[in-house]
Amino acid sequence: MARFGGKKERLETTIPTSSMADIAFLLLIFFMVTTVFIRFRPDVPPELPEAEAVQGLQNKRHVTNLWIAPDGAIQIDSLSGVPLDKLAPLMLSKIRRNPRLIVLIKSDESTSYGRVSDVIEELRRAEALRITFAATPEGI
Is 124 part of any domain?
A: yes
Is 80 part of any domain?
A: yes
- The total number of structural domains that make up the chain: 1
Coil, strand, or helix at residue 87?
A: helix
Name which of 87, 82, 72 is nearest 122 in CA terms: 87
Q: What is the CATH number of the domain that holds 70?
A: 3.30.420.270
CA atoms within 13 A on the CB side of 90: 19
- Please give the sequence-ordered ranges of beta strands (E in DSSP) within the chain, or none if there are none: 50-51, 63-68, 74-76, 79-80, 102-107, 131-133, 136-137
Res. 7: pLDDT tops 70: no
Identify the pLDDT of residue 96.
92
Is 83 part of any domain?
A: yes
11-29 mean pLDDT: 85
Q: Look at the chain and count its residues.
A: 140
- What is the pTM assigned to this prediction? 0.59
Alpha helices by DSSP H, listed for 1-109, are 20-34, 84-97
Proportion of the chain above pLDDT 90, given as a percent: 14
The tens digit of pLDDT for each residue in 69-122 reads 888 888 888 777 888 888 999 999 999 998 888 898 888 788 888 898 999 999
Is 44 part of any domain?
A: no
Is 69 part of any domain?
A: yes
- Name residue 24's amino acid: A
Is 95 part of any domain?
A: yes
Q: Which domain holds residue 110?
A: 50-137
Q: How many CB atoms lie within 10 A of CB 119?
A: 23
Is 39 part of any domain?
A: no
Cα torsion 112, 115, 120, 126 to 10°: value is: -160
User: What's phi and psi for 43, nearest 5 deg?
Assistant: -65, -40
Is 11 part of any domain?
A: no
